[in-house]
Amino acid sequence: MKKLIISLMMFGSVYSQCLGDMNGDGIKDILDIVNLVNDILDGDDICEEPLCLGDINGDGIKDVLDIISLINEILDGDDSCEEFEPSICDGLTEVELWGHYYDIGVTYLDLANQGLTGSIPLEIGCLTNLTWLDLENNQLTGSISQEIVNLVDLTVLRLYNNQLTGEILPEIGNLINLTGLYLGYNQLTGEIPSEIGNLTNLIGLELENNQLTGGIPSSLGNLTNLTILRLYNNQLTGGIPSPLGNLMNLTGLYLYNNQLTGGIPSSLGNLTNLIYYGLSLSSNQLTGQIPSEVCDLIESNNLWMSYILEGNNLINTCGGGTTGGSDNFEGDN
212: three-class secondary structure by DSSP: strand
pLDDT of residue 139: 98
Radius of gyration of the chain (CA): 28
The pair phi, psi for residue 22, each rounded to 5°, is -90, 135
CB 205 within 8 A of CB 223: yes
Question: Domain ranges in the chain?
Answer: 2-84, 94-315
Distance CA 286, CA 166 (A): 29
First-last CA distance in the chain: 63
pTM: 0.74
pLDDT in tens, the chain (333 residues): 444 444 444 444 344 444 444 445 555 555 565 565 566 556 655 444 444 444 445 555 555 566 566 556 655 665 544 444 457 888 889 999 999 999 999 999 999 999 999 999 999 999 999 999 999 999 999 999 999 999 999 999 999 999 999 999 999 999 999 999 999 999 999 999 999 999 999 999 999 999 999 999 999 999 999 999 999 999 999 999 999 999 999 999 999 999 999 999 999 999 999 999 999 999 999 999 999 999 999 999 999 999 999 999 999 989 766 654 444 445 444
CA angle centred on 147, ends 142 and 153, rounded to 5°? 130
Distance CA 282, CA 205 (A): 20
CB 183 within 8 A of CB 144: yes
Cα separations (Å) of 294 from 77, 98, 210, 299, 320?
A: 58, 49, 28, 9, 11
pLDDT of residue 58: 55
Sign of dihedral through CA atoms 157, 161, 164, 167? positive
Distance CA 284, CA 287 (A): 9
pLDDT of residue 319: 76
pLDDT of residue 56: 46
Query: Fold for domain 94-315?
Result: 3.80.10
- Amino acid identity of residue 68, one-letter, is I
Q: Could you count the other beta carbons within 10 Å of the beta carbon of residue 291?
A: 18
Distance CA 86, CA 311 (A): 55
pLDDT of residue 12: 44
